[in-house]
Amino acid sequence: MAIVLGKQARWRTFAAHAVMWVFIAITLFPLLAVVSISLRPGNFATGSLIPTEISLEHWKLALGIPYQAADGSLVQPPFPVLTWLWNSIKIATASAFLIVAISTSAAFAFARMKFRFDKPVLNGMLLLQMFPPVLALVAIFAIFETIGNYVPALGVETHAGLVLAYLGGIATHVWTIKGYFETIPVEIEENAKVDGATHWQAFSRVLLPMAIPILMVVFVLAFIGTIIEYPVASILLREEGNLTLAVGSKYFLHDQRFLWGDFAAAAVLSGLPITLVFLLAQRWIVSGLTAGGVKG
Amino acid sequence: MTALSSSLGQGAYSTLPATFTEKLSKWLHWPLAVAAMLAALYFVFVVYSTGQAAWAVGLLTLFTAGFYIYLSRGGFAWRYLFPGVAGMLVFIAFPLVYTAQIGFTNYSSTHLLSESRVREYLLEQHDAVEDQVLAYSLHASGAEYRLVLKADSEAAPRWVSPSLALRAGKELRIDVAAADAATAPADAALPLPDLIKHRDALAKLVLVLPDKSELRYLGLREFGPIKPQWTANADQSLTRNADGAVFKANRDTGFFESTSGEVLQPGVKAFIGVANYTRMLFDAEFRGPFLSIFSWTVVFSALTVIFATAIGMLFAVMLNWEGMKYRTTYRTLLFLPYAVPGFISILVFKGLFNQNFGEINAILDALFGVKPAWFADPFLAKTMLVIVNVWLGYPYVMILCSGLLKSIPADLYEASALAGASPATNFFKITAPLIIKPLAPLLVSAFAFNFNNFVLIALLTDGRPDFLSTKLPAGQTDILVSYTYRIAFKDSGSDFGLAAAISTLIFFLVAALSLINLRLSAKAQK
């Protein structure tokens, strides 16, 4: 758009930048503050955003290393942050793998096969997804308690049980993968079948390798989705050594025991990798948001 | 004929002979399938035999569907669909139905067991027969032990057991013999601390006297005969042996009750119809906090969506403006709140808003000399929740709007520039009308999401500050979902039935919102 800009427009640009700067400052303030707080000595210190005195005590505790306080006493880490991080990564990786596996195979059926009730089944799945699990926590808890009576390895207070609980949330992933499958010409698989490939071989040896980019995106989305999940994890896991990061972090900021500095270090330690992954995957996530949204 | 043609087909098209693994899998196909079926049936049987008939039927249906799909020739597409559909049915659809069902029961920590389990529990209760209780002592006998029974601890030994290894395990019946000078153990009795170590094994002993009467463990000092407190009757009622009173399960109150109105613990899980729902409507003490929580939930979601949309749309428009430099950098920085995991940023705000050593109050104190009590004052707590939620939510709207703005043809703006229109006119006459239609369904989903934004409330305020003087604890900043969580899992009482009834109410609201959403997106597609 080639338009001659007057004096007024220059002021407008300046004002726009000023508004931007103010708002970015507000947006970034909490994130910068928490980094600064993680480096301040003590749990109650206030001070400037750029710490005047840097202390690594909170970082040591977050990494599980006891720390020698100024009065000579040895401060033990209040919570097993690294164990929680490991639990979270373990659960999220297992869930993401299984979610990708079952949503890919379901998406294949929807994209490539004709069968009765295909539309109602897909719509039903998308509709069910609108009810978040947080509404059925009582039932989910009761279900896993019952499962635990017969198969203790999948009951309450087990990671495998939590992974199982996450396997219900696949509808949006099925939708995303189905959309991608539909952009791949069906003729390629048909050629493979003419050459003697079975149905399964056409799927696993021909279609899947071509769909790897979308599978990776869905994997990342499912991974992040599980790692930040709080409600279900908070009712299925209760013992300290068993918790995920999302459930455990809360205990740092208990009213009677407010470990602000220790929390800050743990938050940066665990939040930074997830944020980076999210920013890297941003492009696909954004396209998924708008695409999925408009199609409803 | 079919066999012939299929073998012909094999010959005509497959050039390779079957490999070893192919042969092996063909041979193992049916034996493995049958083994899996038997295992599944056994599992269903185990579930059924523990009295969970409904679960067994559900499990059987699931297994049957699975075996049918993977073993029959029809329903090919379902082989690919089954895991996903089963997952959704079991972990999303079933919990919804189950929740609705729990909403019609009195399931809670005082009504935890089914009627038959309560009956079993009561029938297991026993009393000691007071006048026949015997004192005992334990004596080492080599590596093993002997038990000596006497009328009281000072009296002479009356009965003595053979040597026992005393390992805890199954119930063990032991014949005891009359004690005399020859058989009585020589060693001194074990002191109490040693006795405690053998407590579990002693509790499993049944001592049989020569006249066939049985003595059981009653404590660290006594063995004695016991008699059951209750007798089962044919009509499912129970008779108390002590006074002959008859107790029947009253399915309306959820307790075993006698004709004189005496009530037994524990309570019975029972179907109570719409009592939980009438409570929401007609119980004045419950309705008050419930209605204010309901209206706060609506206000909270609406305010969040309004503010997040206003801010998000403003930045989307600004970032879409070509005169603006550094747009990519700005976009990434403004996107950050969406990229940081929610549980971390919410807790960061919990610390920043802390009244005494939070950064926000430090700044407010320096500038205006005030230190607001963000967590203690209901209005401030609500304001804080909206502020934090807008911070968390505006990048989402911004991204959505950026996408939608790109689809507006540029010549519209060129035409308006020629007409000398101001940016405000551009926005209200061109931009807003064009993006509001596709945006509307997304905003309805955002509203629905915030309506159930449990994580924010749970991590930031936990519903506090609480209403004063309510029968059921309720928080001023609680939204409906966090309130049900609190009723079900946190405060004493654990009223699962009531929580499930409120959840069922939310199902209908979510369903209504989804319907509106679908209508609006259908409109936007036109």
Position A101 scores a pLDDT of: 92
Select the residue from A81, A262, A294 to test the B interface by mutation, using most B Cβ atoms within 10 A. Answer: A294
| Residue A70 DSSP code | T
In angstroms and rounded to an integer, the radius of gyration of the C-alpha atoms of chain A is 25
Q: Does A118 touch chain B (CB under 8 A)?
A: yes
By C-alpha distance, which of B100, B481, B461, B518 is closest to A231? B481
Q: Does position B148 have pLDDT exceeding 70, yes or no?
A: yes
Q: Does position B8 have pLDDT exceeding 60, yes or no?
A: no
What the block records as the tokens of B504 is: 């069922």
B164/B139 Cα distance (integer angstroms):
10
Q: Does B207 touch chain A (CB under 8 A)?
A: no
A116/A124 Cα distance (integer angstroms):
14
For A224-282, how does the pLDDT look when each residue is reduced to its tens digit (9 = 90+)?
889 889 999 998 998 888 899 889 888 888 877 778 888 888 888 888 888 888 888 77
B463/B465 Cα distance (integer angstroms):
6
Position A48 scores a pLDDT of: 65
The residue in chain B having the minimum alpha-carbon distance to the alpha carbon of residue A255 is B354
* Overall average pLDDT of the B269-288 stretch: 80
Task: Give contacts of B78 with chain A, Cβ < 8 Å.
Answer: 109, 115
B405/A290 Cα distance (integer angstroms):
12
**Residue A296's pLDDT band (boundaries 50, 70, 90)?**
very low
CA B376 to chain centre: 29
Higher-confidence residue of A99 and B180: namely: A99
ipTM rounded to 2 decimals: 0.86
Contact between residue B500 and residue A142 where contact means Cβ atoms under 8 Å apart: no
By C-alpha distance, which of B271, B270, B272, B265 is closest to B121? B265
Q: What angle do CA A209, A171, A181 make, to 5 degrees?
A: 30
B340:A102 CB<8 A: no
Of the candidates B330, B399, B507, the beta carbon closest to that of A24 is on: B330
Position A285 scores a pLDDT of: 62
B3/B101 Cα distance (integer angstroms):
52
In angstroms and rounded to an integer, the radius of gyration of the C-alpha atoms of chain B is 36
Q: Side chain identity at B144, as an amino acid letter?
A: E
B117/B124 Cα distance (integer angstroms):
11
The pTM for the full model equals: 0.79
> What mean pLDDT value characterizes chain B?
81
* Overall average pLDDT of the B335-359 stretch: 87
A131:B84 CB<8 A: no
Of the listed ranges A136-150, B266-280, B291-305, B455-469, the one predicted with least confidence: B266-280
B445:A108 CB<8 A: no
Position A6 scores a pLDDT of: 63
> Mutual orientation of helices B76-88 and A81-112 as an angle, nearest 10°?
140
Q: Does A238 touch chain B (CB under 8 A)?
A: no
Position A284 scores a pLDDT of: 66
Q: Does position A289 have pLDDT exceeding 60, yes or no?
A: no
What the block records as the tokens of B76 is: 């090919």
Rounded to the nearest 5°, which phi and psi values hold at B100?
-60, -40
Position A292 scores a pLDDT of: 41
Residues in CB range of A49: below 8 A, 6 or more apart = A32, A33, A36
A102:B87 CB<8 A: yes
* Overall average pLDDT of the B106-124 stretch: 76
B14:A196 CB<8 A: yes
Q: Estimate the share of chain B in helix, then strand, then coil, as percent rounded to the nearest 5.
A: 60, 15, 30
Q: Does position A96 have pLDDT exceeding 90, yes or no?
A: yes
B503:A136 CB<8 A: yes
Q: Does position A60 have pLDDT exceeding 90, yes or no?
A: no
B488:A127 CB<8 A: no
For B393-424, how does the pLDDT look when each residue is reduced to its tens digit (9 = 90+)?
999 889 888 888 888 888 888 888 888 888 78
What the block records as the tokens of A225 is: 């989705």
For A115-125, how does the pLDDT look when each residue is reduced to its tens digit (9 = 90+)?
888 888 888 88
Contact between residue A232 and residue A250 where contact means Cβ atoms under 8 Å apart: no
Q: Does position A93 have pLDDT exceeding 90, yes or no?
A: yes
Q: How close B358 gets to chain A, by Cα (Å)?
A: 8
Residue ranges of B 92-111 with Cβ closer than 8 A to chain A: 92-96, 98-99, 102
Q: Does A25 touch chain B (CB under 8 A)?
A: no
B335/A23 Cα distance (integer angstroms):
12
Q: Does position A199 have pLDDT exceeding 50, yes or no?
A: yes
**Residue A44's pLDDT band (boundaries 50, 70, 90)?**
low
For B463-506, how does the pLDDT look when each residue is reduced to its tens digit (9 = 90+)?
888 888 777 788 889 998 988 888 888 766 688 888 888 889 88
| Residue B370 DSSP code | -
**Residue A170's pLDDT band (boundaries 50, 70, 90)?**
confident
B341:A227 CB<8 A: yes
For B198-249, how does the pLDDT look when each residue is reduced to its tens digit (9 = 90+)?
777 777 778 787 777 778 787 777 787 777 777 777 777 777 777 777 777 7
Task: Give contacts of A102 with chain B, Cβ < 8 Å.
Answer: 83-84, 87
Select the residue from B19, B79, B80 to test the A interface by mutation, using most A Cβ atoms within 10 A. Answer: B80
Q: What is the DSSP string of B60-115?
A: HHHHHHHHHHHHSSS-HHHHHHHHHHHHHIIIIIHHHHHHHHHTTB--BTTB-B-H
Q: Does position A291 have pLDDT exceeding 60, yes or no?
A: no
Residue B17 CB-half CA count within 13 A: 1
Q: Does A106 touch chain B (CB under 8 A)?
A: yes
Residue ranges of B 40-59 with Cβ closer than 8 A to chain A: 43, 46-47, 50, 52, 55
* Overall average pLDDT of the A50-63 stretch: 76
> What mean pLDDT value characterizes chain A?
82
Query: What percentage of chain A carries pLDDT values higher than 70?
Result: 89
Position B4 scores a pLDDT of: 41
Q: Does position B384 have pLDDT exceeding 90, yes or no?
A: yes
Q: How close B244 gets to chain A, by Cα (Å)?
A: 37
B121/B130 Cα distance (integer angstroms):
22
**Residue A286's pLDDT band (boundaries 50, 70, 90)?**
low
Q: Does position A290 have pLDDT exceeding 70, yes or no?
A: no
Query: What percentage of chain A carries pLDDT values higher than 90?
Result: 12
Higher-confidence residue of B415 and A292: namely: B415
Of the candidates A27, A130, A235, the beta carbon closest to that of B333 is on: A27
Residue ranges of A 44-63 with Cβ closer than 8 A to chain B: 44-46
**Residue A1's pLDDT band (boundaries 50, 70, 90)?**
very low
Per-residue CA distances from A34 to A265, B338, B343 (Å): 8, 17, 14
Q: Does B339 touch chain A (CB under 8 A)?
A: yes
* Overall average pLDDT of the A91-118 stretch: 89
B347:A20 CB<8 A: no
* Overall average pLDDT of the B108-114 stretch: 75
**Residue A201's pLDDT band (boundaries 50, 70, 90)?**
confident
